[in-house]
């Protein structure tokens, strides 16, 4: 008998109801007859089990049922009940209010929603308040029903808890339930908008307080083929001709535009922030747009009153020839030796400022008085990988081989360059010496160690499709930085040219496109601002002699690597003996023009090397 009761309970939950309704439905009382067919289990005895069947039916589907027929031949029973829906009121043509029976429970919501949808074609239950005996029905299109179901599933609520209506212009206006949290739901709502309700380009916008918003049709944001540099439109007039620390935006140099958000016509300007991020790493494979970005950076820095130095020992600054006249005198390096000189002078300038800051008892260079004449110094180092990667030392050569000396000296200069590049961002961030390091690949295997990358807080990675390994090397937290959207990366119309991602401390990461204007146009604009110019910004021979190290003996004579002791008869890196240099140049070749005294130590060795090279060129 217990088995029969269990089978009766199961049969009650699986039957499908049928029904009919009568009445006008406008401010009147409506009666709804609900019928159900129940398969009878084996062992069912009408005399014993009718009461059990009705009780189970009431537990599963509510009260008011009666048995109309028990057919033992077909082993089915038919039950029915009549529901009175008091005051089914048509508030408007598209809305009805239903008064519910007193025995309706919150758990009956889904059943009643299905019942009303079948009873009133085109209407859906949009409000359900069983505690006050009220339900609301609204006419909804299939698209509105679909949108409501998608958002309800996302928020894990019942469909009638999400209010949806078609929006003028396309999309849907919505009112979300009280559990809506922007931080928790906005990203998922945008995903549902573009992948379930609409198509790529659709987006969601909601007010967190009112919980009102809309799912709106839109196009995928993209970039034009090129974005011209805005030049004077974004450079404040009061900082064009001289640096002004009080302006507060000296380090905010425009370099490109951000990818517009959904529904936004244009992206905002992307600016550097050299006050919060005093050093920058720019990465990108060949053709990704590093040179174009550096052109914009140099232009904006000069217009903001910064002093600019440039190191490009690989391509001899050919990409920046239009900007050479505007560089700080002595701070344009076209070869490895000049690179060491420029970086050493930049480091020495930082040390001078460091002492001045300490003397004035301030915290950073921007707090120094105007009389100190201290402006930010931006040093751009391009093609850093080729600049820093050491050459293999030839084997099997004698210790006094000129080739061995040449390779050894170049590797020494590279090591010196790396040492200076590491010290400038580590020690001089408060002194206004800003380092920008650009390279194709930034890893320790090609000469750029992890410590140096860690001291460059502003990160830019150019290129539409960088590899995952490049992202790891170029970005501090690559998994938190967005990738270039596929529709931009694969765009044949030029949207992918000059695009990249950025990661600056103190602001959100993002996707951007660098400005592009012809270098001659940028240089012409700088001339219109009457920027000071110089004929030759390369380091002078005296600066080279003072700041570039060379292999030398203890008494200042050049010597080859591997010499066990100083030798006055050693050879300079050019291969010429120092005795020959003295014979041809005279006894006064090593006079310091600045002091009138003789050079000693490293400065004397450097001067010997340069004079030797000059003589060699003159006799060739």
Rounded Cα gap, residues 388 and 416, in angstroms: 9
Strand positions, DSSP E, 140-177: 163-166, 172-175
Element (H, E) at 17: strand 17-22
77 in Cβ contact with 42 (< 8 Å): no
Q: Is the dihedral of CA 420, 424, 425, 427 positive or negative?
A: positive
306 in Cβ contact with 272 (< 8 Å): no
Residue 188 is assigned to a ligand binding site: no
Residue 315 is assigned to a ligand binding site: no
Rounded Cα gap, residues 546 and 557, in angstroms: 15
C-alpha dist (Å) from residue 283 to 169, 294, 501: 43, 12, 10
Instruction: Look at strands 279-283 and 212-216 and give their pairing.
Output: unpaired
End-to-end CA distance of the chain: 119
Rounded Cα gap, residues 522 and 298, in angstroms: 10
What single-letter DSSP state applies at residue 196?
Answer: I
513 in Cβ contact with 257 (< 8 Å): yes
Strand positions, DSSP E, 93-141: 95-99, 123-129, 134-139
C-alpha dist (Å) from residue 130 to 104, 134, 203: 6, 6, 35
Q: Which residues contact 79 (CB under 8 A, 6 or more apart)?
A: 35, 36, 38, 54, 57, 65, 66, 67, 68
The radius of gyration computed from the CA coordinates of the chain, to the nearest angstrom, equals 40
**Helix, strand, coil proportions of the chain in percent (round to 5)?**
40, 20, 40
Rounded Cα gap, residues 87 and 543, in angstroms: 98
Residue 408 is assigned to a ligand binding site: no
What single-letter DSSP state applies at residue 116?
Answer: H
Rounded Cα gap, residues 312 and 318, in angstroms: 9
Residue 300 is assigned to a ligand binding site: no
Residue 585 is assigned to a ligand binding site: no
Q: Which residues contact 133 (CB under 8 A, 6 or more apart)?
A: 99, 100, 101, 102, 104
Q: Is the dihedral of CA 181, 186, 192, 198 positive or negative?
A: positive
Element (H, E) at 279: strand 279-283
Short-list 476, 481, 483, CA closest to 456: 476
412 in Cβ contact with 559 (< 8 Å): no
Residue 288 is assigned to a ligand binding site: yes
Spell out a b/e string for 259-282, using b for 16 or more CB atoms within 10 Å of the CB, else e: beebeeeebebbbbbbbebbbbbb
Residue 284 is assigned to a ligand binding site: yes
Q: Which residues contact 273 (CB under 8 A, 6 or more apart)?
A: 251, 252, 458, 504, 506, 507
Q: What are phi and psi of 86, to 5 degrees?
A: -80, 135
328 in Cβ contact with 346 (< 8 Å): no
Q: Give the residue numbers of the binding site.
A: 284-291
Q: Give the residue numbers of the binding site for ATP.
A: 284-291
């Amino acid at each position: 008998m217990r088995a029969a009761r269990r089978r009766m309970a199961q049969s009650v939950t699986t039957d499908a109801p049928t029904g009919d309704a009568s009445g006008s439905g406008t401010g009147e009382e409506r009666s709804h007859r609900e019928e159900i067919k129940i398969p009878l289990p084996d062992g069912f005895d009408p005399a014993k089990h009718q009461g059990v069947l009705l009780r189970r039916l009431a537990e599963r589907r509510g009260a008011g049922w009666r048995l109309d027929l028990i057919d033992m031949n077909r082993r089915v029973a038919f039950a029915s009940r009549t529901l009175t829906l008091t005051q089914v009121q048509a508030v408007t043509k598209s809305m009805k209010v239903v008064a519910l029976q007193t025995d309706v429970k919150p758990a009956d919501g889904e059943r009643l929603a299905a019942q009303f949808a079948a009873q009133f074609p085109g209407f859906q239950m949009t409000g359900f308040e069983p505690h006050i005996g009220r339900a609301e029905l609204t006419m909804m299109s299939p698209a509105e029903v679909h949108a409501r179901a998608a958002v309800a599933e996302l928020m894990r609520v019942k469909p009638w808890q999400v209010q949806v209506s078609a929006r003028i212009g396309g999309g849907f206006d919505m009112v979300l339930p009280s559990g809506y949290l922007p931080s928790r739901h906005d990203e998922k709502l945008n995903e549902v908008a573009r992948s379930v309700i609409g198509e790529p380009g659709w987006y969601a916008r909601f007010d967190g307080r009112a919980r009102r918003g809309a799912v709106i049709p839109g196009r995928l944001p993209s970039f034009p083929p090129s974005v011209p540099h805005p030049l004077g439109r974004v450079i404040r007039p009061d900082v064009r001709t001289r640096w002004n620390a009080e302006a507060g935006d000296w380090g905010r140099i425009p370099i490109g535009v951000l990818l517009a958000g959904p529904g936004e016509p244009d992206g905002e300007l992307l600016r550097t922030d050299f006050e919060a991020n005093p050093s920058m790493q720019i990465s990108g494979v060949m053709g990704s747009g590093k040179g174009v970005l550096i052109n914009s950076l140099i232009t904006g820095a000069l217009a903001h009153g910064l002093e600019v130095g440039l190191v490009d020992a690989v391509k001899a600054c050919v990409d920046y020839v239009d900007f050479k006249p505007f560089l700080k005198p002595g701070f344009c390096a076209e070869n490895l030796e000049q690179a060491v000189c420029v970086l050493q002078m930049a480091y020495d300038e930082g040390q001078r400022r460091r002492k001045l800051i300490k003397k004035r008892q301030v915290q950073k260079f921007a707090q120094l008085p105007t009389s100190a004449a201290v402006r930010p110094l931006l040093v751009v180092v391009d093609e850093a990988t080729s600049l820093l990667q050491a050459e293999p030392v030839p084997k099997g050569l004698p210790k006094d081989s000129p080739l061995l000396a040449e390779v050894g000296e170049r590797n020494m200069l590279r090591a010196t360059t790396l040492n200076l590049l590491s010290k400038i961002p580590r020690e001089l961030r408060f002194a206004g010496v800003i380092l920008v390091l650009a390279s194709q690949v930034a890893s320790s295997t090609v000469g750029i160690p992890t410590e140096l990358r860690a001291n460059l807080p502003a990160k830019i990675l150019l290129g539409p499709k960088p590899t995952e390994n490049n992202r790891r090397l170029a970005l501090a937290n690559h998994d938190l930085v967005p990738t270039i959207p596929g529709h931009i990366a694969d765009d044949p119309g030029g949207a992918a040219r000059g695009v990249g991602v950025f990661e600056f401390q103190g602001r959100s990461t993002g996707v951007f496109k660098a400005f592009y204007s012809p270098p001659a146009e940028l240089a012409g604009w700088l001339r219109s601002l009457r920027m000071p110019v110089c004929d030759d910004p390369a380091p002078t021979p005296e600066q080279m002699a003072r700041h570039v190290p060379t292999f030398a003996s203890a008494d200042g004579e050049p010597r080859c690597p591997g010499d066990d002791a100083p030798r006055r008869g050693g050879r300079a890196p050019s291969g010429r003996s120092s005795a020959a240099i003295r014979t041809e140049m005279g006894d006064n070749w090593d006079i310091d023009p600045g002091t009138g005294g003789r050079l000693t130590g490293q400065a004397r060795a450097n001067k010997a090397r340069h004079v030797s090279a000059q003589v060699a060129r003159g006799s060739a």
